[in-house]
């Protein structure tokens, strides 16, 4: 089983709203990721959690706040977003496979900021 | 600076044709992954290549990792409309603060019936 789930599938929010994106995996993976993907572009790394600790923050604005409550869950809290933050937000997890890691993605949350 | 380049950017072919797409870098990667992504969905992992010169087959798809581990190719034999999608390569990079995957810009493939 290589399933990563994300909720909600679609989200529309105003610039003054606070919302959260959720991601879950039950594969025992110890690294989890948030990516942002704009139309016709590749995924762009935002955050990496390793063993429930934030290990990489790619200079993401503070209106995006990640949280890893436990080894299976990853949240992305959103506050005071801008219309240009509208994108597909992808969660992924990875596992060690010999000398490398394999990464699996969730289906994404389509976010629209109005 | 794009660490990974992919070519071609766009490819439109007829069903039954063969094609090859390329992923190139000036950097060495410890491993490289290929994904296929359909519109509005997350990328789906197709294969991971680790050893220089490695060749892996997945039905009609053949993946090769360059000897120097700087480039890779994906060859599709007898393409079908179901192969349509965005093909992404991603290289595993080790940093002081952890590991992450660097993505190429993708090749958008359209297979016409």
Q: What is the pLDDT of residues B10-27, one digit of tens each?
A: 999 999 999 999 999 999
Mutate to test the interface with A, among B52, B94, B99, B104 (most CBs of A within 10 A): B99
Residue B70 has pLDDT above 90, yes or no: yes
**Residue B4: predicted pLDDT:** 94
- Inter-chain CB proximity A100 and B92 less than 8 Å: yes
Q: What is the pLDDT of residues A9-49, one digit of tens each?
A: 999 999 999 999 999 999 999 999 999 999 989 999 999 99
Residue A113 has pLDDT above 80, yes or no: yes
Q: Does A74 touch chain B (CB under 8 A)?
A: no
Local confidence band at A4 (pLDDT 50, 70, 90 cut-offs):
very high
Q: A55 to chain B nearest CA, in Å?
A: 6
**Is residue B12 exposed (0-12), middle (13-18) or buried (19+ Cβ within 10 Å)?**
exposed
Local confidence band at B3 (pLDDT 50, 70, 90 cut-offs):
confident
Q: B21 to chain A nearest CA, in Å?
A: 16
Residue of B nearest to A38 (CA): B40
Q: Taking residues A44-72, report their average pLDDT.
A: 94
- Inter-chain CB proximity B100 and A45 less than 8 Å: yes
**Is residue A47 exposed (0-12), middle (13-18) or buried (19+ Cβ within 10 Å)?**
buried
């Amino acid at each position: 089983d290589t399933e990563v789930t994300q909720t909600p599938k679609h989200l529309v929010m105003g610039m003054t709203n606070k919302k959260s994106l959720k991601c879950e995996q039950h594969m025992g993976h110890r690294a989890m990721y948030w990516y942002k993907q704009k139309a016709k572009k590749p995924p762009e790394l935002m955050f990496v959690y390793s063993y429930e600790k934030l290990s990489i923050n790619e200079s993401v604005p503070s209106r995006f706040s990640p949280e890893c409550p436990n080894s299976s869950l990853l949240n992305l809290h959103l506050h005071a977003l801008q219309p240009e933050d509208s994108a597909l937000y992808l969660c992924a997890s990875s596992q060690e496979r010999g000398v490398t890691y394999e990464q699996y993605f969730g289906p994404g949350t389509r976010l629209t900021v109005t | 600076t794009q660490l990974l380049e992919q070519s071609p950017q766009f490819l439109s072919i007829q069903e039954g044709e063969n094609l090859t797409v390329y992923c190139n870098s000036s950097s060495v990667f410890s491993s490289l992954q290929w994904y296929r992504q359909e519109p509005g969905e997350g990328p789906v992992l197709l294969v991971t290549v680790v050893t220089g010169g490695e060749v892996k087959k997945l039905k009609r798809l053949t993946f090769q990792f360059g000897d120097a581990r700087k480039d890779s190719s994906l060859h599709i034999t007898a393409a079908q409309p179901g192969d349509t999608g965005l093909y992404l390569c991603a290289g595993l990079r080790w940093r002081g603060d952890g590991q992450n995957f660097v993505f190429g810009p993708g090749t958008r493939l359209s297979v016409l019936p």
